[in-house]
Amino acid sequence: MMAAEGILTARGGVSSHAALVARQMGKVCICGAAELNIDYRAKTMSVNGTVFREGDDYLSIDGTSGMVYAGQLPSAPAEIIQGVLDDDKTAQRGGNLSQLQSADGLVQQSHAMSVRTNADTPDQVENAVAFGASGIGLCRTEHMFFEGDRIDAMREMILARKVDDRQKALSKLLPYQKADFIGIFKALKGKPATIRLLDPPLHEFLPQDHSAQSALADKMGVSVDEIARRVHELHEQNPMLGHRGCRLGISFPEVTEMQAQAIFEAAAEVQKSGIKVHPEVMIPLVGFDKELENQVEIVRRVAEQVQAQKKVKLNYPRRYP
46: β partners: 37, 51
Least confidently predicted of 4-8, 125-129, 238-242: 238-242
Q: What is the pLDDT of residues 9-68, one digit of tens each?
A: 999 988 888 888 888 788 899 999 999 999 999 999 999 889 999 988 899 999 888 999
Domains, the chain, ordered by start: 6-70 (3.50.30.10), 114-201+236-310 (3.20.20.60)
Q: How far apart are CA 268 and CA 308, in angstroms?
A: 11
CB 246 within 8 A of CB 284: yes
pLDDT in tens, 68-117: 999 999 887 655 444 444 444 444 444 566 666 655 667 767 777 888 98
Own/partner long-range contacts of 167-174 (Cβ < 8 Å, ≥24 apart): 167/254, 170/254, 170/255, 170/258, 171/258, 173/145, 173/258, 174/258, 174/261, 174/262
Residue 68's DSSP bridge partners are 61
Mean pLDDT, range 243-248, rounded to an integer: 94
Count other Cβ atoms within 10 Å, centred on residue 182: 19
Q: By the 8 A CB rule, do 230 and 274 touch?
A: no
Contacts of 209 (CB under 8 A, 6+ apart): none
Cα–Cα distance, 197 to 249 (Å, whole number):
9
- Compute the distance between CA of residue 40 and CA of residue 215 in angstroms, rounded to an integer: 21
Mapping DSSP to helix (H, G, I), strand (E, B) and coil, where does residue 292 land?
A: helix
- Average of per-residue pLDDT values in the chain: 87
Record the pTM.
0.78
Give the type of residue at 280: E
Task: Evaluate if residue 320 carries a pLDDT over 60.
Answer: no
Residue 305 predicted with pLDDT over 70:
yes
What pLDDT is attached to residue 242?
A: 85
- State the Cα–Cα distance between residues 157 and 174, nearest whole angstrom: 12
| Backbone conformation region of residue 43, classed left if phi is above 0, alpha if psi is from -120 to 50, else beta | left
**Quick one: CA dihedral 18, 23, 25, 29, positive or negative?**
positive
